[in-house]
Copies of this chain bind each other. A is one copy, B any other.
């Protein structure tokens, strides 16, 4: 395989993979607009997320992955229902946070993101479902002091993820190279250079 790409590119890919955070992820709950999904996945890649999760019951196109184009470097796992997704995440020992303004929500900066963490992002128009809010361990909110009622979903995701990146970077959690060798080989293969 190493013959198919330059040594520089191979080294870069190895380095990226070794920084991946296997215990930090997002769950997109019916986030539908391709430009939002794409912006979210670019951000996930940039903070070292290995895999995101999605519930796209209402959107078979996104489920097929066609809208995501070149975002192959972040894996995407589809779940049929929010309940399935949340139980999958909890079974991995993750705290499940939902970005949602309700009277139990805490400021997103108060959360410890060095713990295994999944963050639920809600649909553009209606936000996260009641079910997601009930199943999550905690609601979090990005403070807003203007007239508009909400942020764009990819903006909210990025704001939370870069706080997680800051905390994890301070805690020395990047560059620990925990990615299993088999996974590296798979990704190198799927990258298909």
Contacts and interface: CB of A to CB of B under 8 A. Distances in A.
Interface of A: 12-13, 16, 19, 33, 35, 38-39, 42-48, 71, 73-74, 109, 142-148, 150-152, 154-155, 158-159, 162, 165-166, 174
Given A109-B166, A158-B155, A158-B158, A145 B46 contact: yes
Nearest to A50: B146
A146 B47 CA distance: 7
Main secondary structure of the interface of A (DSSP, over half): helix
Nearest to A152: B39
Contact of A48 (B42, B145, B152, B159): B145
5 contacts: A16-B145, A46-B151, A73-B147, A155-B158, A159-B162
B42 A155 contact: yes
A142 B162 contact: yes
Nearest to A41: B148
How many copies the complex holds: the figure is 2
Contacts of A13: 147
A145 B48 CA distance: 6
A158 B19 CA distance: 24
Contacts of A151: 39, 42-43, 46, 158
Interface pairs A-B: 3 shortest CB-CB:
A45-B146, A39-B152, A46-B144
A140 B47 CA distance: 17
A96 to B, nearest CB: 22
A42 B46 CA distance: 23
A16 B147 contact: yes
Given A48-B146, A143-B165, A158-B159, 9 more contacts: A42-B152, A42-B155, A43-B151, A45-B144, A45-B148, A47-B146, A73-B146, A159-B159, A162-B162
